[in-house]
Structure formats: C-alpha cells, structure tokens
Amino acid sequence: MSTQTIAVHLPDGAVREVPAGTTPLDIANSISPRLAAACIAARLIPLAGAAQAADAGEEPSEAAMYAADDAAKPRLVDLTAPLTADTRLELVKENDPEALKVVRHSAAHVMATAVLELFPETKLGHGPATDSGFFYDFYREKPFTPEDLALIEAKMAEVIARDDKFVREHEPREQALAEFEKDGDFMKTHFVTKFTVPGDEVSFYRNGKFVDFCRGPHVPSTGRVKAVKLTTLAGAYWLGDEKNPQLQRIHGTAFFSQKEMDAHFARLEEAAKRDHRLLGKQLDLFSIQELAGPGLIFWHPKGAMIRKIMEDWMREECLRRGYSLVYTPHVAKVNLWQTSGHEGFYAANMFTPMELDDANYRMKPMNCPFHILIYKNSPKSYRDLPVRLAELGNVYRYERSGTMHGLLRVRGFTQDDAHIFCMPSQIEDEVEACIDFAKAVLTTFGFKEFKVELSTWDPNDRAHYAGSDENWKLAETSLKTVLDRKEIAYKVIPGEAAFYGPKIDIKLVDVLGRLWQLSTVQFDFNLPARFEMEYVGEDGERHQPVMVHRALFGSVERFFGVLIEHYAGAFPLWLAPVQVGLVPISERHHEYARKVEKELKAAGFRVEIDDRNEKMNGKIRDFANQKTPYILVFGDKEQEAGAVSVRTRGKGDQGSAPLAEFIAKAKALVEGQSMEL
C-alpha cells in the first residue's frame, strides 16, 4: 500500500488531509463517535463540477442496481468504503433523503437471507429498494404461501438480532459467473453477464453466510434495519416473459423506527377508508358500468346533486368574473383536428375516427378549437378583448383498457374549461385573475394549502417548442411577474412547458397531506396562429390575440374524487346531497314529519324522511352511515312544542330546539359555505 495523502472536503468547508484508504466511518469517528453511530452511509461528490443531487427518485432499475458507478456523479458508498482520491464527503444520516433507500435495500438482503435459511433451494433474482419499501424476486418450484411470509418475517427478526456486518467483497467476473452457473443461479448469471464486462471485478455483499451480487451501499450491519414488515406476495414472469419460469415477488417496507412504520400503516389505513371508489359505492354517489365500458362515469342522484352544486357555483363565479358561458358539440370533423394540430400531436390520446356518410369525425379530447371557432365567427376589435369563453365541456380521451382508476383516470370527463383571448398588454391582469379564481375554488371547497409550479421551456430544445423567443420571453416573464406580485411561492420547472407555451400548475394538498394536480393556467401562441385568429388594433391593423387555457377544477370527475377522499364522504352542509334526515319516532308522528319536511324544503334544504316501520335507532344509524349532517328526531314532546331533537354529525345529540331556530342556524351555515356544523 502506498502512503499517499488525499484531501477530504467536508460540508462545513473543512478539508482533512488523510492517508488514502481512510474510510468515511474513520472520519465520522474522528468528529464524534455519536455522529459515527448515527451514520447510515456516505456520499462522495466529485470535486470538479457542481454538486447536483444523486439519482433522486430514480426508478429501481436493474442498471441502477448493478452497473458500475459513474465516478463523475455524486454517489452513495458504504461507511467502510476506503477513500482513494480527493473528494467532497457528506455523511448520510436519517434525515438525508436517500438514507431510507439504503435501509430498505439492506432490508431486502435481510429478507433474502431469511428466505435462503428457510428454503435453501430458492434462487435469487432482483431485490431493490422502491419509493415505498423494497422487494425481492425469488424462484422456487413450490410457490410461497401467506404462512411462509410470517415464517420469513420471524426469521428476519433473527437475522437482524445477529447484527452481522454487511461486508463488501470482490471477485474476478469469470470466477463469479462460474460459481453462479455451477449453483444454477440463472438470474444472477444473467445480471452479471448483462451489467459487467469481461475483466471486471464483481462486487458482492456478505452478511453472515449470505452473499449477494450487489453494488450496494448498505447499512453497516443487519441490526441497523430497525423496523421491517413484509406486505404482499405476487407472481411475475422472469424478464416479463410468460415462457420463462414464474418468480415470486415478496414486497416489504422498512423504516428507521417502529413509530414511523406504525404511522405509515395508519396513514395507509386512513387512505383506504377514504378511497373514493369505496365511498362512492357506500354513499351511492356514482358507478362505472361494465356493460357501458371502463372509464365512463355514471353519476347517481346523490353524486349528481353534488355535481350540480359544484357546477352552479362555477357558472355563477364565471359570470361574476366576466366570462361568457358557451356550449359546444362532443364531436367534430377530422379536418378541425387537423387544423388544430391534434391529429398531428395528440392523435394517440383520441378515440379513433368514426366514418359517417359525409366525413370522418372524432370525439373531442379538448374544447379549445371549438371556442376558437366561436371567437372567429365574428370580427373582433381591441374593444372586444379580452374575450373569455367558459364551458363545462365533456371531453373523451383514449386510455388503455386496464389503466382506468375510479374517478381519477377515465376515458370521458368534464373540464371546467375556459379560453381567454386577449392583447399582449392584457396578459398579466388576465393571469392574475385566473390565479385569484383558482384560489377561490380551492378555499371554497375546503382546501387550505396548495403548491404552485411554473413550467418553462428549454431554449436549447427548439424542436419541441412552437413560437418565437420573443413570445416565450413575454409569456414566462408575465407569469413570473404575476406570481411575484401576488407573493406566491413557486417552483420553476425548466423544460416542462407544453409545446405551445409555459404554464402555471396549482397542486392542492388534501387532509392527508397528499398532493393533487388540478388547476392549470397555460399560455398558447400556437393555436391562434394555426387558426389565423385576429383582432383589429387601435392602430387599425390586424393583430393576433394571445390565448390562455385555464381549468380550475381541472376535471369535474377528478375534483369530485378528491373531494370525496378529502372529506371521507362527510361533505360540508352546503355540498351534502341530503342535508337533513327526518326520523319520526312512530307512525303517529308522520304528519308532523311531513310538516317539518315542507318547512325545511321551503327554506331550501335537501331533506329525506325515513317513515319506514323501523326502530328509531336503526333509522338514526342509517342516516349516520350516509354521513348526513343533521338528523332531526321527533316524538310527542317535540310535536307538541313545534320543536325537533337535533343530532349533529360528529357531535351527537344536541338536545331539542324550536324548528325555526334550527332552520335559521343551518341556513347561515349553507350561505357561508361553512365547513362547520
């Protein structure tokens, strides 16, 4: 060994001169043994070039698992990896975004260790960390059973308790291949052949007796896998080919602590309870009918009531904010889609053409060309601008069968779509108004938090963007100016603009902290040019207007799905399809029930009477299961007093109140679109 000295640059700017072969663990220990104990791995960042993030969010691809490291990029290594050249070094602790992946990949090795100890005939495939956990593919003639999973989990606890070190070893490639072939390890042979070249050294990781072909890195020892759970068992063909042997893929997840893992499963459970497909059925809101086809939504009376309220609100707001409402057809001749460019750029997402006697037609995937035709139907002057056309337009897009998901991914949906045609000087005000409108949608429907992204073009990639530099600059500057003026924090995403212009996306955050992409405000230089749109300016000359596409619910179906999950089906009073459930205690109170119903309906409430010959408690339970905001119960006492006994969702029995008092209070809540009861 040489006694060469290398320079290790630490994040605080300190530079350590150490002998080559020093490990990140040595350096951590020299800072503090407590720090060393808290480290999971280390990140080496080449000194030349900027320190960009290493492969964050990368798919668990095989190449990422096995291919040789790119020494020019930041990369994670074991704490015990000898440092051989000058480098920048970051010690990776639990708070590092990549730390959990290292733990999860180590958990996959722990699982494979347990499997081989229990079922030594098993052959190993691929075992990466994923965004939510890890998996390992196994080949075994006899498939694993759910009982086996419990055995494997118990054995994993033993492997973890042994706290064996993860040790990196090397072997000449040809020797490794010979050993794998001798043992019939066909999958490992495949990976080594595919991802290394003759003459390479192949790296292995050993913990106890278990050895796996792997690039790493790993946690220092098996005991560092603190909380782990196996979740599912699924079959998959080797290399995705059904002629190949069927593999068993065992999924699991791992966390830094049992507490974090418990919180994760509690969140999953909560999300499952809120699943809009489940609640849609329970509350009889909507269905998808096999006979009609997937991805096509049937709105049942209660779901349709909520939709009506959403749409009424949206139309009223559009009118208040200076939009004109329009309706347009669901199909149009292919010629229109050629002019708009959809035939060229978007055909793969459209329903195939229908041949009629005069021409071929297509279902519309977007409303934009139709609104343009309305604009173009009469000459426009600068005095007419901006023209704002809004429509709750049904559009149809082709999604592959098997990819649809409830209300979230469908083949037919309704956009709350609008197109604004204006002069360049009006862009900022129009965009600002769109953002105000989007915020009004989110707060009115009960969302407190949102995130904003500004997608810009890539000036070096002209092939993928239409429009001049000048236009792009104008559009991007005005979007930025508006966001800055409104003091809205946003993330710029370069190269993510649509081909026709930059856009602002607004993602809302639901009650479980999940992000949903809904509202979008997009610039367009392309369509006005394709359709040769014009207005006569103050100068008497013809000019091309600028076009803004904007959708705020995005898709009414999708927004409804998000609302169902956000509220877990317990809609605020103003949105609830049935606001008040009436429970007469016995038959002699039915007449009073009708009177109460009449008064409530006259006051504008949506009411349902349960006059079945059932027990009071059963009727109350049924309304409660439907998440009805108020249940009014009455017997002799209430009838005599002209009162009702009020049960409030989430609060229980509130005692008796005069009917007029209840009506006044509930009415105020509806009018204020209140989230409270």
Applying CB under 5 A, which residues contact Zn ion? 214, 368, 549
The catalytic position among 368, 510, 550, 566 is: 368
Instruction: State the nearest-atom distance from the C-beta of 94 to Zn ion, in Å.
Output: 20
Nearest residue to Zn ion on Cβ basis: 214
Asked if residues 127 and 115 have their Cβ atoms less than 8 Å apart, the reply is no
Distance CA 134, CA 250 (A): 9
Q: Which is nearer to Zn ion, 168 or 380 (CB)?
A: 168
Residue ranges of E strands in 397-500: 412-422, 449-456, 490-494
Instruction: State the nearest-atom distance from the C-beta of 211 to Zn ion, in Å.
Output: 11
Instruction: State the nearest-atom distance from the C-beta of 412 to Zn ion, in Å.
Output: 17
- Closest to 215 (Cα-Cα) out of 196, 197, 232: 196
- Closest to 125 (Cα-Cα) out of 34, 265, 236, 231: 236
Asked if residues 398 and 288 have their Cβ atoms less than 8 Å apart, the reply is no
Residues whose CB is less than 8 angstroms from the CB of residue 433 and which lie 6 or more positions away in sequence, other chains included: 321
DSSP state of 357: S
Instruction: State the nearest-atom distance from the C-beta of 368 to Zn ion, in Å.
Output: 3
Instruction: State the nearest-atom distance from the C-beta of 395 to Zn ion, in Å.
Output: 10
Distance CA 58, CA 64 (A): 8
Q: Which is nearer to Zn ion, 216 or 581 (CB)?
A: 216
The catalytic position among 229, 503, 566, 589 is: 503
The catalytic position among 397, 550, 619, 647 is: 397
Length of the chain: 677
The catalytic position among 185, 251, 415, 589 is: 415
The H-or-E segment that residue 669 falls in is helix 659-671
Q: Which is nearer to Zn ion, 549 or 589 (CB)?
A: 549
Distance CA 504, CA 522 (A): 6
Asked if residues 287 and 294 have their Cβ atoms less than 8 Å apart, the reply is no
Instruction: State the nearest-atom distance from the C-beta of 364 to Zn ion, in Å.
Output: 11
- Closest to 310 (Cα-Cα) out of 669, 624, 558, 627: 558
Distance CA 99, CA 92 (A): 6
Q: Which is nearer to Zn ion, 299 or 421 (CB)?
A: 421
Instruction: State the nearest-atom distance from the C-beta of 326 to Zn ion, in Å.
Output: 13
Distance CA 385, CA 257 (A): 60
Q: Is 417 a catalytic residue?
A: yes
Asked if residues 62 and 31 have their Cβ atoms less than 8 Å apart, the reply is no
Instruction: State the nearest-atom distance from the C-beta of 59 to Zn ion, in Å.
Output: 16
Q: Which is nearer to Zn ion, 214 or 420 (CB)?
A: 214
Q: Is 415 a catalytic residue?
A: yes
Long-range pairs, 569-572, Cβ under 8 A, ≥24 = 569/274, 569/279, 569/282, 569/283, 569/627, 570/627, 570/629, 570/649, 570/650, 571/306, 571/627, 571/629, 572/446, 572/629, 572/673, 572/674, 572/675
Q: Which is nearer to Zn ion, 328 or 656 (CB)?
A: 328
Instruction: State the nearest-atom distance from the C-beta of 31 to Zn ion, in Å.
Output: 29
The HSE-up count of residue 262 (CA atoms within 13 Å, CB side) is: 3
Residue 69 identity (one-letter amino acid): D
Q: Which is nearer to Zn ion, 558 or 566 (CB)?
A: 558
Asked if residues 609 and 667 have their Cβ atoms less than 8 Å apart, the reply is no
Burial 209-247 (b: 16+ CB within 10 A, else e): ebbbbbbbbbbbbbebbbbbbbeebeeeebeeeeeeeeb
Q: Which is nearer to Zn ion, 368 or 433 (CB)?
A: 368
DSSP state of 85: S
Asked if residues 234 and 204 have their Cβ atoms less than 8 Å apart, the reply is no
Q: Which is nearer to Zn ion, 177 or 214 (CB)?
A: 214
Q: Is 368 a catalytic residue?
A: yes
| Residues that are catalytic | 368, 397, 415, 417, 419, 503, 549
